[in-house]
C-alpha cells in the first residue's frame, strides 16, 4: 500500500522552508486533511507526495531555486546608474527631487546629485506629502501602457493620456467610492449605458 504525505513549501526572504504535515494511508485521506486545515495564510496549498518520494522532493525544493536573488548592493548600484543617466539627459542637476520613502534612494541621490535637495515622502497620514494616490493611478495607467510597447511619438502619447484621463474620470468606476470621480464631483455624464457615447455627446 502506498502512503502519502502532506508537504508545505513556504518561501521567505532568507530561503525556502519545506516540512511535512503528516503521513496518510491513502491519497483520499491526505486530500481530506488538506481541505480541513485550509492552511490560512500559507503561500499555496500543500503538496500531496508519495511518502517514498518525500526525501527527494524536499531536496529538490531546497536547492536554492526559490531563494531570493535580491542583492542590496547591486540594487543601489543600478539605482545610482539610473540617476546618473537621468542627470546626463537633463544636462543639469535638479534643485529638488521628490521620491517615496525608499531608503536606498538617499545614498544614490547624494552620490550622483550632491547639490540636489532630496525630499522623501515617508508619511502615510500626511496627505500633503502622501503620493499613494498618484502611485495608484500610475499603476492603473501602466496596466494599459505596458502592453503597447511604447508610443510612436509625443503626439500619440498625448492622445493616449488624454483619452485615458477621460476614461479614468468619467467612464471607470472608482473601487473606493463606488462611482466615477466626475460623479463624485457632481459633474457626471448621466445614466446612459454607453458612457463613452454620452461623453462624446457632451463634447459637441
Domain, as residue range, for 112: 72-121
Q: Which of 194-204 are b and which e, b meaning 16 or more Cβ less than 10 Å from the residue's Cβ?
A: ebeebbeeeee
Residues 137 and 99 in one domain: no
Sign of CA dihedral 151, 154, 159, 161: positive
pLDDT for 126 equals 65
Q: Is residue 148 part of a domain?
A: yes
Residue 110 belongs to a domain: yes
Task: Name the domain count of the chain.
Answer: 3
Q: What is the pLDDT of residue 61?
A: 66
Tell if the pTM clears 0.85, that is, is over it. Answer: no
Q: Distance (Å, rounded) from C-alpha 60 to C-alpha 197? A: 57
Within a domain: 164: yes
| Residue 63 confidence (pLDDT) | 52
Domain for residue 157, yes or no?
yes
Please tell me whether residues 182 and 153 are part of one structural domain.
Answer: yes
Per-position pLDDT tens, the chain of length 204: 678 888 877 766 566 677 778 888 888 887 777 777 654 444 556 788 888 888 877 777 665 544 445 567 777 788 888 888 888 888 888 898 888 777 778 888 888 889 999 888 766 666 666 667 777 778 877 777 777 777 778 888 888 888 888 888 888 888 778 888 888 888 877 777 788 888 888 777
pLDDT reported for residue 42: 47
Of 75, 124, 120, which Cα lies nearest the Cα of 100? Answer: 120
pLDDT of residue 125: 66
pLDDT at 136: 76
44 and 81 share one domain = no
Domain boundary among 38, 61, 84: 61
Other C-beta atoms lying within 10 Å of the C-beta of residue 37: 15
Residue 196 belongs to some domain of the structure:
yes
Residue 126 lies in a domain: no
Amino acid at each position: 500500500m502506498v502512503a502519502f504525505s502532506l508537504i508545505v513549501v513556504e518561501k521567505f526572504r532568507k530561503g525556502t522552508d519545506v516540512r511535512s504535515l503528516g503521513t496518510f494511508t491513502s491519497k483520499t485521506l491526505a486530500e481530506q486533511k488538506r481541505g480541513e486545515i485550509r492552511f490560512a495564510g500559507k503561500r499555496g496549498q500543500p503538496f500531496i507526495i508519495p511518502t517514498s518520494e518525500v526525501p527527494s522532493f524536499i531536496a529538490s525544493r531546497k536547492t536554492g531555486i526559490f531563494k531570493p536573488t535580491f542583492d542590496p548592493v547591486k540594487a543601489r548600484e543600478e539605482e545610482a546608474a539610473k540617476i546618473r543617466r537621468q542627470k546626463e539627459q537633463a544636462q543639469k542637476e535638479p534643485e529638488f527631487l521628490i521620491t517615496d520613502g525608499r531608503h536606498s534612494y538617499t545614498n544614490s541621490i547624494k552620490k550622483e546629485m550632491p547639490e540636489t535637495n532630496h525630499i522623501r515622502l515617508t508619511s502615510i497620514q500626511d496627505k500633503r506629502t502622501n503620493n499613494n494616490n498618484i502611485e495608484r493611478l500610475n499603476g492603473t495607467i501602466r496596466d494599459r501602457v505596458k502592453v503597447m510597447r511604447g508610443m510612436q511619438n509625443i503626439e500619440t502619447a498625448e492622445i493616449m493620456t488624454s483619452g485615458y484621463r477621460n476614461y479614468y474620470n468619467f467612464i471607470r468606476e472608482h473601487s473606493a467610492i463606488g462611482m466615477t470621480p466626475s460623479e463624485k464631483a457632481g459633474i457626471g455624464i448621466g445614466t446612459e449605458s454607453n458612457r463613452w457615447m454620452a461623453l462624446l455627446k457632451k463634447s459637441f
